[in-house]
Amino acid sequence: MEFDKRNNALNVNGNYVNGALADIAITTRGSDLYFAICAAMATAGFIFLGLAFRKPRRDRIFHYITAAVVFVASIAYFTMGSNLGFTPIQVEFPRSDPKVHGTYREIFYVRYIDWFITTPLLLLDLLLTAGMPWPTILWVILVDEVMIVTGLVGALVRTRYKWGYFTFGCFALFYIVYVLGFEARRYSKALGQDVNRVFFMCGTLTLFLWILYPVAWGVCEGGNVIAPDSEAIFYSILDFFAKPVFGALLIWGHKDISPARLGLSIRDYDDDHLINEGPAGTHEKRHVPAGSNGQNAATTGQDAAQTV
């Protein structure tokens, strides 16, 4: 039997969802693009993981975080390519243009689930690179989650009140821009020229791209200005540069930077003397009495053996 190479996702998974028909929806071209970006994200993830195995385990934190970003994104793009993970929402601005003419627009909520997981990880990559303190990192991540959630809620609202949520999200974005552009940059400079260089490259790319996301939201979910296929192109370009390209720059920049320089002192059992106190070539863990070190414990054990 001849293998069918055609994309049948739109035929298998139709546009009638939650009691409404999304008559403003992607075509097969949009689905093809989403599947292509899915493949690109997954490929980048395997490359990042492959590069991680060239590093000691304690130095792989940025590889793992960045690989997680693109793997999660690949699942989201597979879902959108399959014409799943959306709900029809009545548009606030009906248009006469045939490409956006209709009543219900296809809103991919799975995109926001992706961002809810991946944007904190991207910020973690950047803020750990800059050596920011943990309380600040956690606070910025919380602000980022507010930005994503308000964007999702706004996209699911059919009245003009959606722009109130859009405004909340923009305020959150402005704060993140301030932290990355000023506070984190000052921290990165104190860690050396090489650290500042990788932070500047990746931070500048992130700031430029993230400022464009509200524009995409305004002409897609918000204003119903461009067609869903054009929406697929807009968001796909932004996500491709914000995740695989960002990840490649970050990992390349970190190739000669030890995480310990950034305040990330991570232990590994292969070189932990508290675990590897047995004979050479073994990994025997020995009990160390409270209040004593390994040497004293070993001496005490010898004395006890001689007494017996």
pLDDT of residue 1: 41
Tokens 């304690």, located at residue: 58
pLDDT of residue 292: 43
User: Per-residue pLDDT tens for 221-268?
Assistant: 999 999 999 999 999 999 999 999 999 999 999 998 888 888 887 777
Q: Is the pLDDT of residue 295 over 60?
A: no
pLDDT of residue 172: 98
Q: Is the pLDDT of residue 13 over 70?
A: yes
Q: Is the pLDDT of residue 133 over 90?
A: yes
In this prediction, residues 105-133 reach a mean pLDDT of 97
In this prediction, residues 85-101 reach a mean pLDDT of 94
pLDDT of residue 236: 98
Mean pLDDT value across the chain? 88
69-75-79 Cα angle (round to 5): 140
> Which residues have a Cβ under 8 Å from the Cβ of 287 and sit 6 or more positions away?
297
Q: Is the pLDDT of residue 155 over 60?
A: yes
> Which residues have a Cβ under 8 Å from the Cβ of 137 and sit 6 or more positions away?
123, 124, 127, 128
pLDDT of residue 57: 86
Q: Is the pLDDT of residue 288 over 80?
A: no
Q: Is the pLDDT of residue 107 over 50?
A: yes
Is the Cβ–Cβ distance between 237 and 218 less than 8 Å?
Answer: no
Q: How far apart are CA 232 and CA 76, in angstroms?
A: 13
Instruction: State what percent of residues in the chain have pLDDT above 70.
Output: 85
Q: Which CATH superfamily is domain 9-261 in?
A: Rhodopsin 7-helix transmembrane proteins (1.20.1070.10)
Looking at 76-90, 99-113, 252-266, which range is the least confident one?
252-266
Split at pLDDT 50, 70, 90, the class of 278 is low
For residue 282, give the H/E element and its range.
none
If we measure between CA atoms, which residue out of 110, 180, 198, 108 comes closest to residue 144?
180
At residue 96, φ and ψ (nearest 5 deg) are -90, -20
The structure's pTM equals: 0.85
Looking at 91-95, 142-146, 186-190, 281-285, which range is the least confident one?
281-285
- Residue 290 token pair: 């409270």
- 244-248, long-range: CB within 8 Å, 24+ apart, which pairs? 244/40, 244/41, 244/44, 244/70, 245/205, 246/66, 246/122, 246/125, 246/202, 246/205, 246/206, 247/44, 247/48, 247/66, 247/67, 247/69, 247/70, 248/44
Q: For residue 181, what is the DSSP state?
A: I
